[in-house]
């Protein structure tokens, strides 16, 4: 589609903006930096094609394989002019104190982008799939850390933007602080939950005697029954309070902007309602078709719940249609958009939030639509639910209880997780005058967004691991039954 040159002395690299047209009649854009190498032994797995340039035989490769290219990009960012108006715009944060280039290596995680660690202190994330607009990960990272001083996300250090022939801003790279950490909150939670479920046997707990509470009932740790604390331990609830605090602080920062219109709070409107319903009804119909076409792959509780899902499809559809913006008094903000335990790093006794790129299935425009901040909370609650069921699935033979007893214990634990998180989150949000609506409105939005999230998850599970479809199906039916 387009290309640009990155050159320094004898080094020449090209950045390609590729347009990929699919048979299904849609297209996507990708960024690929390329270089020419003549060394026969270099980057054998990453060669794109053999070529001969000016009589020299060699190969075109992904330029990120060359340390010289990674060094050049880092140096361009760290020496960028404050108001770069060229076609390839490098930007360095005013808060970033750059050091000379020493070394670089690939981060080595499986992801849709390519991340390179520089000097053991910074990470340059090269976006592979690009959009004809600023990437929300760049926008959110820069806004939170540079404009609002939010400390619990990797600090924004710089970026690279391309101005294409239509004058659109295309983000191709984001540089951030490398946060030393002990892994993500998903792995942390799985370890904690394994201890909790192991305690059922160790502490001789009768699941049928565990006290339960209504979903979304707010409660302080002091109000969690002693039986639950004795079973699950105090530490996991203290960690949930910290996570809720950091989440609230993110939303407080996102809800306190009054100049940059892409971040100023908005009210609910008729246009938002139309956009939301169109999007969700289309997604719901897609998931219905997927379930109907894959029923033969399910068995046991998964099959039972899938049949109930199909039988009650009109009831679920009505739940999406029943969104009435005129009854909602809260505000909409820019939000994380794909918030779950895997997007959170654990460092000491604290949490760092990252990856603000948004929901992978959504268009770039949809990812930037202002949403109720409780949409992020709903995503995190669905992640708690997933972690509980993943623990049961992965370790079932380790726990001498029936699957039904484990599910029951998991559902009870889930409600206490939600209750403790909600108490801290709502308390902090209200102290800073962020309007997330009155009590019943909050519960309505949480249920609505959790239903949306569970329906979204159902498509992934049905297509890739049908035995796990029980998790979103259980989530969907519990929300519907709770409401009734």
* Segment 314-328, tens digit of pLDDT: 999 999 999 999 999
* CA–CA distance, 236 with 51 (Å, rounded to integer): 57
Both 223 and 137 in one domain: the answer is: no
Lowest mean pLDDT among 5-9, 117-121, 127-131, 404-408: 5-9
Average model confidence (pLDDT) for the chain? 94
Burial status of residue 41 (CB atoms within 10 A of its CB: 0-12, 13-18, 19 or more): exposed
Under 8 Å between Cβ of 473 and 305 = yes
CATH code of the domain covering residue 472: 3.90.1200.10
pLDDT at 61 over 80: yes
Both 200 and 287 in one domain: the answer is: yes
The token duo for 371 is 């949403």
Residue where the block lists tokens 């998931």: 287
Ranges of beta strands (E only) in 326-445 are: 331-332, 344-347, 350-353
Both 96 and 131 in one domain: the answer is: yes
Q: For residue 70, what are the contacts with CB-CB under 8 A and spacing of at least 6?
A: 64, 104, 116, 118, 124
pLDDT at 207 over 80: yes
Both 476 and 444 in one domain: the answer is: yes
Q: What is the mean pLDDT of residues 1-21?
A: 90
Torsion over CA: 150, 154, 160, 162 (sign): negative
The token duo for 382 is 């669905």
Q: What is the mean pLDDT of residues 38-60?
A: 85
pLDDT at residue number 378 = 98
Q: What is the mean pLDDT of residues 376-383?
A: 98
Torsion over CA: 107, 111, 114, 115 (sign): negative
Higher pLDDT, 484 or 426: 426
Domain that holds residue 85: 2-177
Please tell me whether residue 422 adopts helix, strand or coil conformation. Answer: helix
Torsion over CA: 400, 404, 408, 413 (sign): positive
* CA–CA distance, 90 with 92 (Å, rounded to integer): 7
Lowest mean pLDDT among 36-40, 129-133, 306-310: 36-40
Distance of CA 256 to the CA centre of its chain: 22
Which of 55, 57, 60, 68 minimizes the C-alpha distance to 6? 68
State phi, psi for 32 to the nearest 5 degrees: -140, 110
State phi, psi for 50 to the nearest 5 degrees: -80, 140
* CA–CA distance, 254 with 263 (Å, rounded to integer): 7
Lowest mean pLDDT among 19-28, 147-156, 364-373: 19-28
Residue 428 CB neighbours (<10 A): 18
pLDDT at 201 over 60: yes
pLDDT at 483 over 70: no
Residue 15 CB neighbours (<10 A): 20
Both 152 and 201 in one domain: the answer is: no
Under 8 Å between Cβ of 155 and 176 = yes
Instruction: With cut-offs at 50, 70 and 90, classify the pLDDT of residue 396.
Output: confident
Both 132 and 201 in one domain: the answer is: no
Q: What is the mean pLDDT of residues 166-180?
A: 95
* CA–CA distance, 421 with 441 (Å, rounded to integer): 18
Among candidate residues 177, 208, 224, the one where a domain is terminated: 177
The token duo for 218 is 């707010």
pLDDT at residue number 110 = 65
Both 146 and 211 in one domain: the answer is: no
Which of 108, 17, 12, 104 minimizes the C-alpha distance to 63? 12
Both 119 and 191 in one domain: the answer is: no
Residue 333 is classified by DSSP as: B
Lowest mean pLDDT among 88-92, 162-166, 472-476: 162-166
* CA–CA distance, 422 with 331 (Å, rounded to integer): 18
Residue 266 CB neighbours (<10 A): 14
pLDDT at residue number 484 = 54
Burial status of residue 449 (CB atoms within 10 A of its CB: 0-12, 13-18, 19 or more): buried
Please list the residues that pair with 12 across neighbouring strands. 7
Please tell me whether residue 163 adopts helix, strand or coil conformation. Answer: strand
The token duo for 464 is 């890739």
Please tell me whether residue 321 adopts helix, strand or coil conformation. Answer: helix
Residue 379 is classified by DSSP as: H
pLDDT at 7 over 90: no
Compute the chain's Rg from CA coordinates: 24
Torsion over CA: 238, 239, 242, 243 (sign): negative
Both 331 and 412 in one domain: the answer is: yes
Q: For residue 252, what are the contacts with CB-CB under 8 A and spacing of at least 6?
A: 428, 429, 432, 434
Torsion over CA: 148, 151, 152, 156 (sign): positive
State phi, psi for 346 to the nearest 5 degrees: -100, 125
* CA–CA distance, 32 with 36 (Å, rounded to integer): 13
Q: For residue 181, what are the contacts with CB-CB under 8 A and spacing of at least 6?
A: 345, 346, 347, 352
pLDDT at residue number 425 = 99
Lowest mean pLDDT among 43-52, 56-65, 175-184, 332-341: 43-52
Both 244 and 172 in one domain: the answer is: no
pLDDT at 292 over 80: yes
In the chain, the number of structural domains is 2
* CA–CA distance, 222 with 355 (Å, rounded to integer): 34
Among candidate residues 121, 145, 177, the one where a domain is terminated: 177
pLDDT at residue number 316 = 96
Both 299 and 441 in one domain: the answer is: yes
* CA–CA distance, 227 with 128 (Å, rounded to integer): 50
The pairing of strands 169-177 and 129-130 is: unpaired
Among candidate residues 128, 159, 177, the one where a domain is terminated: 177
Both 124 and 226 in one domain: the answer is: no
* CA–CA distance, 464 with 171 (Å, rounded to integer): 31
């Amino acid at each position: 589609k387009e290309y640009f040159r990155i050159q320094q002395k004898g080094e020449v690299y090209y950045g390609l903006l590729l347009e990929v047209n699919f048979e299904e009649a849609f297209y996507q854009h990708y960024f690929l930096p390329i270089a020419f190498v003549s060394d026969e032994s270099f980057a054998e797995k990453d060669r794109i094609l053999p070529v001969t340039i000016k009589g020299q035989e060699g190969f075109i490769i992904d330029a990120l394989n060359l340390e010289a290219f990674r060094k050049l990009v880092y140096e361009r960012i760290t020496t960028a002019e404050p108001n770069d108006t060229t076609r390839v715009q490098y930007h360095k944060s005013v808060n970033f104190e750059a050091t000379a280039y020493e070394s670089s290596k690939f981060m080595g995680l499986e992801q849709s982008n390519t991340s390179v660690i520089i000097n053991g202190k910074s990470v340059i994330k090269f976006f592979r799939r690009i959009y004809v607009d600023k990437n929300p990960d760049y926008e959110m990272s820069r806004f939170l850390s540079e404009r609002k001083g939010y400390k619990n996300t990797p600090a924004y250090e710089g970026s690279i933007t391309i101005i294409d022939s239509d004058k659109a801003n295309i983000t191709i790279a984001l540089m951030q602080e490398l946060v030393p950490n002990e892994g993500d909150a998903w792995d942390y939670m799985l370890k904690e939950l394994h201890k909790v479920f192991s305690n059922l046997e160790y502490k001789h707990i009768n699941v049928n005697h565990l006290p339960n509470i209504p979903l979304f009932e707010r409660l302080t740790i002091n109000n969690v029954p002693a039986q639950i604390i004795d079973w699950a331990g105090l530490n996991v609830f203290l960690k949930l309070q910290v996570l809720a605090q950091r989440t609230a602080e993110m939303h407080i920062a996102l809800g306190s902007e009054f100049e940059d219109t892409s971040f100023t709070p908005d009210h609910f409107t008729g246009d938002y309602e139309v956009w939301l319903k169109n999007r969700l009804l289309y997604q719901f119909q897609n998931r219905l078709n997927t379930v109907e076409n894959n029923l033969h792959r399910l068995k046991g509780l998964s099959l039972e719940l899938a049949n109930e899902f199909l039988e009650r499809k009109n009831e679920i559809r009505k739940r999406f249609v029943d969104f009435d913006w005129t009854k909602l008094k809260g505000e909409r903000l820019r939000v994380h958009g794909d918030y779950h335990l895997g997007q959170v790093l654990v460092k000491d006794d604290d949490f760092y939030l990252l990856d603000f790129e948004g929901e992978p299935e959504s268009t770039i425009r949809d990812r930037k639509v202002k949403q109720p901040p409780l949409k992020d909370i709903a995503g995190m609650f669905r992640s708690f639910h997933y972690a509980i069921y993943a623990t049961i699935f992965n370790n079932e033979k380790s726990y001498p209880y029936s699957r039904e007893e484990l599910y029951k214990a998991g559902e009870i634990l889930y409600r206490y997780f939600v209750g403790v998180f909600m108490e801290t989150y709502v308390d902090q949000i209200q102290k800073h005058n962020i309007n997330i609506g009155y009590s019943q409105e909050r519960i309505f939005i949480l249920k609505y967004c959790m239903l949306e999230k569970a329906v979204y998850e159902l498509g992934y599970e049905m297509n890739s691991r049908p035995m796990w479809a029980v998790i979103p199906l259980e989530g969907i039916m519990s929300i519907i039954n709770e409401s009734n």
